RNA sequence: GCCCCCAUCGUCUAGAGGCCUAGGACACCUGGUUUUCAUCCAGGCAACAGGGAUUCGAAUUCCCUUGGGGGUACCA
């Protein structure tokens, strides 16, 4: 049987890094096994689900390169399927109506906690008589549907990343709710709940491997029972470790930046992000740390996925992102940078300025960690005018600097070449009998207002092509007193 | 509380009984390259949670302790 896996996000928020990482593992596994990767939107929580989040999830997965082979499927469009399954479970005696009210359940749990017992449903309505049911109905109570979970039974599965996992039925919290209270009088039961819907869908979609976060382990035990009651084959399960925050807790929306959208806006690129997410819990056999999704897929095995949670490390992500940015062809990098520059309001013509933009990209590339650094570093080249840093001001106040700048400034002409620039620097060094360092550093201050920056002559050439060198040098030299 | 899972440098990890004096990467520190910053290169610091058991031999197997995490809904 061919492999079929799925990513099943719930549209209650933007695409989360944890969901994305699960998607990565599923995608890699599907690719490795030449199987199918399916997208299913779990929107049975009508209260919290929003279509804008669905769009965000789809665009996020696409941006990351995690394309799906089938779907997206929506659970809200498959309600009949769940309804049939629930009815079947009731008919076959696997499920029954429970008329307990939320306050009653609340009270029951309070009592259990008070006596140091595990809070659970005590299965009190499992064997209601027809008379009792009639009485509840007459009282106007509406039932939820509960699926019987035998306390005595043991649930066992061979987890593909954890090995054998054993669960005791009694530790599952009692008979589980699979359908909510009906909202309309005509209905005998309401909306399906997560565990039921997941199983029905996974059966219907012939899912062979369920790869998901470790936080679902307890659900797996419950779901296996559902598979069996529905007479379906139980798929393989693999529970991946969680991504943890700095405190070592499960990364949640409250940890600030967690949505894929946020990472994109911060200047991370998709290949670096997927590379990093993969590395969080998995290492390729060859120990290579920088790899594409495609190459990882060729050697991806669930058995190599770690068991322990992994803390999210910004430093490592930054490093990976910078590696990608540094090794990328200039025109690729340029096209990534352009949107950021445009958003910053920088004026340029992508046609006429093409070569200039490419040269600028080459100049800036080694200093980029995130694409957003290109905005900061590029300001100098797109925005006229210069502000002088205090240490630069100080440097340029020394003897000779002003004269050097005035001399260089007077020699600035359009059409400056590399050799021309070198010749001017050499001539000025000779003329004033100063060290080359003084000329270079003064010139840097004259051109950029700072003591540090990328290659000076290239910087000069680029500014010259935009006619910004002469006036800038003059502005700075005029600002020097004496 | 109860149940489950997990445990190697600060972080991500390699390690399936002798190859481990525990390897790599990030971060950090030092040096080199550079007019400077960045890049790049070279080097350094730094870990098997603790205790038992098995074994000639344990980071690797087993048990206990400790620590961390997850779950415990008419959320997903």
Closest CA to A439 of A388, A407, A404, A475: A404
Helices (H) and strands (E) in chain A, counts: 20, 12
Report how far residue A355's alpha carbon sits from residue A42's, in angstroms, rounded to the nearest whole number: 48
Q: Is A253 a catalytic residue?
A: yes
Report how far residue A205's alpha carbon sits from residue A366's, in angstroms, rounded to the nearest whole number: 48
Report how far residue A242's alpha carbon sits from residue A357's, in angstroms, rounded to the nearest whole number: 42
Residues A370 and A283 in one domain: no
The predicted structure's pLDDT at residue A482? 60
Nucleotides of B under 7 A from a protein CB: 1-8, 10-14, 16, 23-27, 35-40, 68-76
Residues A332 and A317 in one domain: no
Residues A102 and A143 in one domain: yes
Q: Which residues of chain A fall below pLDDT 70?
A: 482
How large is the angle between the packed helices A194-204 and A79-91, nearest 10 degrees? 100
Number of structural domains, chain A? 4
The predicted structure's pLDDT at residue A478? 86
- A241 and A215 in contact (C-beta within 8 Å)? no
For A37-54, write each residue's pLDDT tens digit: 999 999 988 888 999 999
- Tell whether A209 is covered by a domain: no
The predicted structure's pLDDT at residue A318? 98
- DSSP letter for each residue of A281-302: TB--TT---S--HHHHHHT--G
Residue spans of beta strands (DSSP E) within A316-444: none
Residues A133 and A187 in one domain: yes
User: Is the shortest CB-to-strand distance from A425 to strand B under 7 Å?
Assistant: no
- A196 and A178 in contact (C-beta within 8 Å)? yes
Residues A319 and A401 in one domain: no
Distance A167 CA to B46 C1' (A): 40
Q: Give chain A's largest Cα–Cα span.
A: 111
For A155-164, write each residue's pLDDT tens digit: 999 999 999 9
CATH number of the domain encompassing residue A274: 3.40.50.620
Residues A116 and A190 in one domain: yes
CATH number of the domain encompassing residue A375: 1.10.8.70
In which domain, by residue range, is A351 found?
Answer: 328-382
Residues A301 and A352 in one domain: no
Distance A100 CA to B62 C1' (A): 47
CATH number of the domain encompassing residue A438: 1.10.10.350
Residues A189 and A84 in one domain: yes
- The closest nt to A197, taking CA to C1', is B76
pTM of the model: 0.94
DSSP 3-state of A448: helix
Report how far residue A23's alpha carbon sits from residue A20's, in angstroms, rounded to the nearest whole number: 5
The token pair that represents A117 in the structure block? 């017992």
- Tell whether A304 is covered by a domain: yes
- Tell whether A204 is covered by a domain: no
By CB atoms closer than 10 A (0-12, 13-18, 19+), residue A358 is middle
- Tell whether A280 is covered by a domain: yes
Residues A319 and A335 in one domain: no
- Tell whether A395 is covered by a domain: yes
The predicted structure's pLDDT at residue A17? 96
The predicted structure's pLDDT at residue A53? 95
CATH number of the domain encompassing residue A132: 3.90.800.10
Residues A309 and A378 in one domain: no
The predicted structure's pLDDT at residue A118? 86
A347: left (phi over 0), alpha (psi -120 to 50) or beta: beta
């Amino acid at each position: 049987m061919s492999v079929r896996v799925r990513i099943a996000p719930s549209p209650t928020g933007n695409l989360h890094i944890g969901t994305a990482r699960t998607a990565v593992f599923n995608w890699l596994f599907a690719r490795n096994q030449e199987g199918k990767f399916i997208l299913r939107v779990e929107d049975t929580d009508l209260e919290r689900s929003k279509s804008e989040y669905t769009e965000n999830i789809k665009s996020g997965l696409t941006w990351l390169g995690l394309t799906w082979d089938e779907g997206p499927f929506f659970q809200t469009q498959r309600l009949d399927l769940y309804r049939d399954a629930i009815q079947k479970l009731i008919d076959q005696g696997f499920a029954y109506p429970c008329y307990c009210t939320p306050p009653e359940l609340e009270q029951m749990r309070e009592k259990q906690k008070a006596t140091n017992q595990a809070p659970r449903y005590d299965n009190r309505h499992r064997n209601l008589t027809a008379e009792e049911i009639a009485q509840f109905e007459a009282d106007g109570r509406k039932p939820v549907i509960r699926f019987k979970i035998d306390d005595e039974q043991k649930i066992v599965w061979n987890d593909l990343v954890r090995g054998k996992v054993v669960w005791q039925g009694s530790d599952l919290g009692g008979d589980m709710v699979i359908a909510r209270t009906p909202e309309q009088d005509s209905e005998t039961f309401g909306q399906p709940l997560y565990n039921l819907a997941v199983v029905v869908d996974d059966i219907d979609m012939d899912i062979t491997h369920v790869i998901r976060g470790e936080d679902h382990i307890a659900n797996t035990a419950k779901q296996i029972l559902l598979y069996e009651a529905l007479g379906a084959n139980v798929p393989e399960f693999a529970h991946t470790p969680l991504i943890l925050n700095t405190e070592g807790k499960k990364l949640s929306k409250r940890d600030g930046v967690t949505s894929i959208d946020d990472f994109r806006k911060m200047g991370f690129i998709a290949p670096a992000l997927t590379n990093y997410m993969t590395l969080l819990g998995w290492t390729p056999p060859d120990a290579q740390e920088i790899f594409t999704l495609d190459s990882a897929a060729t050697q991806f095995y669930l058995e190599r996925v770690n068991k322990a949670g992994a803390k999210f490390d910004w430093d490592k992500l930054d490093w990976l992102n910078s590696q990608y940015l540094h090794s990328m062809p200039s025109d690729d990098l340029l096209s990534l940078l352009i949107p950021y520059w445009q958003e910053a309001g920088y004026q340029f013509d992508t046609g006429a300025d093409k070569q200039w933009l490419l040269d600028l990209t080459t100049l800036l590339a080694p200093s980029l960690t995130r694409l957003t650094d290109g905005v900061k570093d590029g300001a100098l080249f797109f925005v006229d005018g210069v502000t002088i840093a205090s240490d630069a001001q100080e440097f340029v106040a020394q003897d000779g600097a002003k004269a050097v700048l005035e001399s260089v400034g007077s020699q600035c002409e359009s059409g400056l070449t590399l050799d021309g620039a070198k010749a001017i620097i050499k001539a000025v060094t000779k003329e004033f009998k100063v060290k080359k360092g003084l000329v270079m550093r003064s010139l840097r201050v004259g051109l950029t207002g700072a003591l540090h920056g990328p290659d000076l002559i290239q910087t000069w050439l680029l500014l010259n092509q935009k006619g910004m060198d002469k006036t800038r040098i003059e502005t700075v030299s005029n600002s020097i007193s004496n």
